[in-house]
Each structure stands twice: as C-alpha cells, then as structure tokens.
Amino acid sequence: MNKKLPDMKLSFRWYGQDDKVPLKYIAQIPGMNAIVTAVYDVPVGEVWPRESIAKLKREVEAAGLAFEVIESIPVHEDIKMGAPARELYIANYCENIRRVAEAGIKCICYNFMPVFDWTRTETAHVLPDGSTTLAYYEEQVDAVNPLDSESDLTLPGWDASYSRAELRDIVARYQQIDEEKLWENLTYFLKQIIPVAVECGVNMAIHEDDPCFSIFGLPRIITNEKNLDRFLQIVDVPNNGITLCTGSLGCSGDNDVVKMAGKYAAMGRIHFVHMRNVALLPNGFEERAHLSACGTLDMYAIMKALYDNGFNGYIRPDHGRMIWGESGRPGYGLYDRALGATYLNGLWEAIDKQARQL
C-alpha cells in the first residue's frame, strides 16, 4: 500500500462580504486552496440558516476556492458554564454541524474559552519598521478589572455585543467555575457533538486558548501538552481533534510547539493549523511577521515536524501585521498574511523536495 504523502491545504480566513479583503484577491495568492469562514450574522447558539451557508458556499466556489473549513461555530456560554439551557444550545450546535457538513465542510474550528476569545492589550502596536501589530502586555491587563462595571477600561478583543454590566455579570458567574468544572462541561459537550461529527464525516478542531494562560482569574484549560492529551482522550476518535495554533501555544515558553506539532500530527489529530510567530517578552508577547527570525518560534521546525509526521490538513497563515499603509481588521489584512502564505509555501516545498530525495 502506498503511504499517503503529507499534504497541506493552504487556506485563508475571510469574514464574508463585509471583509475589506475580496475573495478574488485571496484567490490570487499562489497555492491558495480553501477559504475559512463562518456565518456571522446569527447570534451565538442559534441555528445557521441553510440559505446563509449555501450563499457562502456559492461565493467561495465562484472565486475558485474550496468551501471546506468553518472558523468558528462559537460555543454558547451556557454550554461552557453547564447552565440548564445548554441542552438547547448543544442540540443547535449538532444541527449546525449537520448543516455545514451537508454543504461540504470537512473541518470545524471552535474554542472553549470562557467569555473572552483572543485577548490583546493593543491592536496597533508600532514595531521598529513602522508596521503595526497585536500585542499583550501584562501591566496593561493588570490595570483592567472586568468585575468593575464603573471602570471604562476595555480590551480590544472583547465581545462588543456585551455591555459593561453584562460582562461584569458573566465574569461574576464564572467565579463558581474552576478548571475541573470546565473540564466536566467540555466533556458533556464533546460526548454529544463528536458522535454527530463522526456520523457527518467532519473533523472538529478545538483551538487553544489565546493566550494559553488564565486571565482575570477565569479558568482556561486548552493550554498545554498535558491538557491537550487529556482533551484528546475524552473522546478518543480522530474526529475529535485540534487546531494547532502556534501563536497561542507560543505565548508560553513552557510549550514546546515543535514537539506538540510532531506528536499530534503523528496521532492524526491535527486537522487545522494556524501558523503565527510571536516574540515572547518578559512582560507578555508581540505578534510578529511569520519568518522565524522575526520572533521566538522556529517556523521551519514546526512545518517539518508536521510534514515528517504525515500531516494532511488545512493550514492558514494566522494574523498578519498591518504593512504598506493597509488598514482593516487587526490581524486580518491582506498583505502580511499573503506574505505569510508565500513563506509557508516555500517552507513546505523545500521540506517536501528534500524528503523525496532521501
């Protein structure tokens, strides 16, 4: 039997028609294969209309790209908190898995971070070359108290759909939930959604917590190798996998991202990769250009570990800086992400050619 050669399906995140980056520009990036997107106009927890999914599919395919990856189907806070309404939200989640699978989706990225998704303290930190980037400085986080609704301080990644008072309430409700309770709620969720994913032939790919440590005393569990091992064992089937986000894991010097890339690829459990470089600082981190020399991570070694361990999945350049005068959604402009995509192509081609000569 021929061993299947490793394959990376290059992909790019697109936020739908409101995205300043048009699909036709994305399609011009060499080697671009698939679009990563979602239905954005439905409140978290509700069922996505079939027509919205079909429209996205038509738009993506009309640009010559594959409609195969969703990022994200968000998980309602009542599921994460284990509130009684989770029954309804889990049923809706299962229905969303079925609906996107019917439309040809192969991989669904999601996260299980309480309240806050990615958290940064600056979205336009100026780097020495004049480009701007996302950054996280501890002293700025320490100055914010989400339990104090009088405080007018907010952080850029916060969900704008919450008012200050709602945010305070939801953070307060989480004071009852420690890490073990969050594991229990995640287990309850996985045991219901993964069988549906198996039945539909879809890979679920949990995204690590970003950054991969607790903030504001909220529990965070998808943070390191030990916890990823535990996560994968909860439902030990290939469809229960991960999005390996190098930048999220790379926020902690304790994570050996190269080792994790190799180990989880060999297990066939990495379905999606977010490739991003970060510079670790004594007081936090800054997102940097993809090139290894620009940050702390060895991007070549990560790609090689994926390749050598038979990775067959989707990969996308993660956040880019803002360069060349571009303005837009922080982290999600065209230019620097396109440079990242081209760099990933170069790494992969070199690794692949070298491997075939051996």
Stretch of 108-116, 137-145, 308-316, 340-348 contacting ligand DNO, by CB under 6 A: 108-116
Kindly name the residue from 89, 94, 136, 207 that is annotated as catalytic: 207
Cis omega (within 30 of 0) for bond into 156 = no
Cis omega (within 30 of 0) for bond into 72 = yes
What distance in Å separates the CA atoms of residue 313 and residue 167, rounded to the nearest whole number?
36
Q: Which amino acid is present at 119?
A: T
Beta carbon of residue 134, minimum distance to ligand DNO (angstroms, whole number): 9
Beta carbon of residue 111, minimum distance to ligand DNO (angstroms, whole number): 4
Residues 313-332 that bind ligand DNO (CB under 6 A): 319, 331
Beta carbon of residue 246, minimum distance to ligand DNO (angstroms, whole number): 11
Kindly name the residue from 110, 319, 336, 343 that is annotated as catalytic: 319
- x/- contact string, 257-276, with ligand DNO (CB under 6 A)? -----------------x--
9 versus 13: smaller Cβ distance to ligand DNO: 13
Q: Is 319 known to be catalytic?
A: yes
Q: Is 300 known to be catalytic?
A: no
Tell me the β-bridge partners of 278: 287
Cα distances from 35 to residues 13, 45, 115, 126, 346, in angstroms, run: 6, 23, 26, 29, 20
Are residues 273 and 264 in contact, defined by beta-carbon separation less than 8 angstroms? no
Stretch of 20-28, 45-53, 99-107, 111-119 contacting ligand DNO, by CB under 6 A: 111-119
Binds ligand DNO by CB under 6 A, chosen from 14, 48, 67, 110: 110
> Which contacts (CB < 8 Å, 24+ apart) does range 341-344 have?
341/10, 341/12, 341/29, 341/30, 341/31, 341/32, 341/316, 341/317, 342/29, 342/30, 343/290, 343/291, 343/299, 343/317, 344/8, 344/10, 344/275, 344/290, 344/303, 344/315, 344/317
- Tokens at 282, concatenated: 């004594």
Beta carbon of residue 331, minimum distance to ligand DNO (angstroms, whole number): 5
Q: Is 125 known to be catalytic?
A: no
Beta carbon of residue 207, minimum distance to ligand DNO (angstroms, whole number): 4
Angle at Cα 278 formed by Cα 276 and Cα 283, nearest 5°?
150
User: Is residue 118 within the footprint of ligand DNO (CB under 6 A)?
Assistant: yes
User: Is residue 72 within the footprint of ligand DNO (CB under 6 A)?
Assistant: yes
Q: Quote the distance between the C-alpha of residue 248 and its chain's center.
A: 9
Question: Reduced to 3 DSSP states, what percent helix, strand and coil does the chain have, rounded to the nearest 5?
Answer: 40, 20, 40
6 versus 264: smaller Cβ distance to ligand DNO: 264
User: Is residue 286 within the footprint of ligand DNO (CB under 6 A)?
Assistant: no
Number of residues that bind ligand DNO (CB under 6 A): 11
6 versus 211: smaller Cβ distance to ligand DNO: 211
User: Is residue 312 within the footprint of ligand DNO (CB under 6 A)?
Assistant: no
Binds ligand DNO by CB under 6 A, chosen from 11, 92, 96, 111: 111
Beta carbon of residue 74, minimum distance to ligand DNO (angstroms, whole number): 7
Q: Is 335 known to be catalytic?
A: no
**Closest alpha carbon to 170 in 147, 193, 151:** 147
Binds ligand DNO by CB under 6 A, chosen from 10, 107, 109, 306: 109
Q: Is 107 known to be catalytic?
A: no
9 versus 319: smaller Cβ distance to ligand DNO: 319
Q: Is 271 known to be catalytic?
A: no
Residue 82 region by backbone torsions, left for phi larger than 0, else alpha for psi between -120 and 50, else beta:
left
- For 208-271, the DSSP string reads PPSSSS--TT----S-SHHHHHHHHHHT-STTEEEEEEHHHHTTSTT--HHHHHHHHHHTT-EE
Residues 31-70 that bind ligand DNO (CB under 6 A): none
Catalytic residues: 207, 245, 274, 318-319, 332
Where does this chain bind ligand DNO (CB under 6 A)? 71-72, 109-111, 117-118, 207, 274, 319, 331
